[in-house]
Structure 1
């Protein structure tokens, strides 16, 4: 997560939006649905723990699309542009650019369709029922795709161990919240097995499956005593690559 995606603890950013609705506008549900369908058809599911018949699905979509794909697209936005748009608008831009980059649609075709539906908002959308894909989506929603793997080597840390969070070089995508870098915490739980991420983060350290830990932090050690409620604990699930014993 680059700066604009990891704002915890930064001051003078204005009031926090406490909106509790998942979808504010009806079109946001459709964007979420498109993303879900793409994940349910993603080629990486051939290697998921629940074995999916991705290779035989009657679809022209033949790419890998995961949460990492969506996040990488959003994180690639220019920071000032990022703050201009709503949550699902960022999703829409990332998904649209992916389809253009992969050749499923051209920028001109997308612009023409956009202009058409802006001029005719009640125009019917394409309707192509596909029972096989509908079944695949239902299976995916029920079973998901897990990054769990067999543990190859013993975890470096045990519950109760004090650790210092690493500060790796910034890369295109990271799973380490910026506000935890160089902070000290205590291992509370070691998750069984080993976990990989959907994509390698390169120099950031996430690649092959590794242990994952639940780490507890005192809020005052992160935000400072004058900005923290007393006796408050912050928990974070972190890959082993982000943990060290040095300070």
Structure 2
């Protein structure tokens, strides 16, 4: 996530002003793209983290100037071509056909009950990312920790604006699929997840934050290390 896609903490992008009556889908094609997600997930195109990583492979200019579901469509194509499920020449040919014939009917496909059942279940409840691990729980509620500044190439859920900052552990959430591994087609490599709390001034500086404001963030174990205090160092 070392790229423009990591927007947390950035400024200068203007206000977010969603319309009061914003529709769920702005066009019919967005409905199709939404329905494709669980179907392609089940077909092995991607996992949740590699789905996100495929979006991060977009050209930054295209990313900022395209609608939300076009980002989904990009990662569908990226993983489909990368894994050999989609022929890019065939994709270009079909795209051009519908550009030239916008009223042409879409191909009809036989409905697969098992796929429909999976799509309906995944759309409602998602796919649980919890996994067991033999790794020890390293931190307890109240521990002071520092967020890492070391990010390897690929996908990560360690946002830029919290890197190198100090926080307090306020909860242990269990162990989950590790995005930095699964996002680039590695093993699930389950890691413990903690909720940590930051003082606003730690994140934004004393001149820009209220002393009474805090922010929380869920972090994976490899993202954090204990803060060594003088008392601990002398123990």
Give the TM-score band, short-chain normalised: 0.7 to 0.9
Matched, 1:121 2:102: yes
Q: Say if 2:45 and 2:83, in contact at 8 Å, map to a contact too.
A: no
Matched, 1:146 2:128: yes
User: Hey, what does 1:111 align to over in structure 2?
Assistant: 92
How far apart are the structure 2 equivalents of 1:139 and 1:224? 44
Deviation at 1:158, TM superposition (A): 0.6
How far apart are the structure 1 equivalents of 2:209 and 2:32? 39
Deviation at 1:172, TM superposition (A): 1.1
How far apart are the structure 1 equivalents of 2:2 and 2:180? 17
State how 1:69-148 maps to structure 2 within 5 Å. Answer: 69-128=50-109, 129-148=111-130
Which stretches in structure 1 are left out of the alignment for 5+ residues? 43-62
Q: Tell me, what secondary structure is at the counterpart of 2:114? A: helix
Deviation at 1:147, TM superposition (A): 2.4
User: Hey, what does 1:55 align to over in structure 2?
Assistant: none
TM-score after normalising by structure 2: 0.82
Deviation at 1:124, TM superposition (A): 1.7
What are the superposed Cα offsets for residues 128-151 of structure 1, whole Å, 9 maximum, x if unpaired?
A: 222221122223335532222234
State how 1:39-78 maps to structure 2 within 5 Å. Answer: 39=41, 41-42=42-43, 63-78=44-59
Pick aligned residue for 1:24 from 26, 37, 42: 26
What are the superposed Cα offsets for residues 115-169 of structure 1, whole Å, 9 maximum, x if unpaired?
A: 2222332322222222221122223335532222234243111111111101113
Q: Say if 2:157 and 2:180, in contact at 8 Å, map to a contact too.
A: no
Q: Say if 2:196 and 2:217, in contact at 8 Å, map to a contact too.
A: yes
Distance 1:198 1:145, change over 3 A: farther
Matched, 1:181 2:163: yes
Distance 1:227 1:87, change over 3 A: farther
How far apart are the structure 2 equivalents of 1:215 and 1:198? 18
What are the superposed Cα offsets for residues 180-216 of structure 1, whole Å, 9 maximum, x if unpaired?
A: 0000111111113x222366169xxx96222110111
Matched, 1:216 2:197: yes
Q: Say if 1:196 and 1:207, in contact at 8 Å, map to a contact too.
A: yes
Q: Say if 2:167 and 2:196, in contact at 8 Å, map to a contact too.
A: yes
Q: Say if 1:210 and 1:240, in contact at 8 Å, map to a contact too.
A: yes
Deviation at 1:173, TM superposition (A): 0.7
User: Hey, what does 1:6 align to over in structure 2?
Assistant: 6
Q: Across the two proteins, how many residue pairs are aligned to each other?
A: 222
More off after superposition, 142-151 vs 179-188 = 142-151
Pick aligned residue for 1:164 from 137, 146, 157: 146
User: Hey, what does 1:54 align to over in structure 2?
Assistant: none
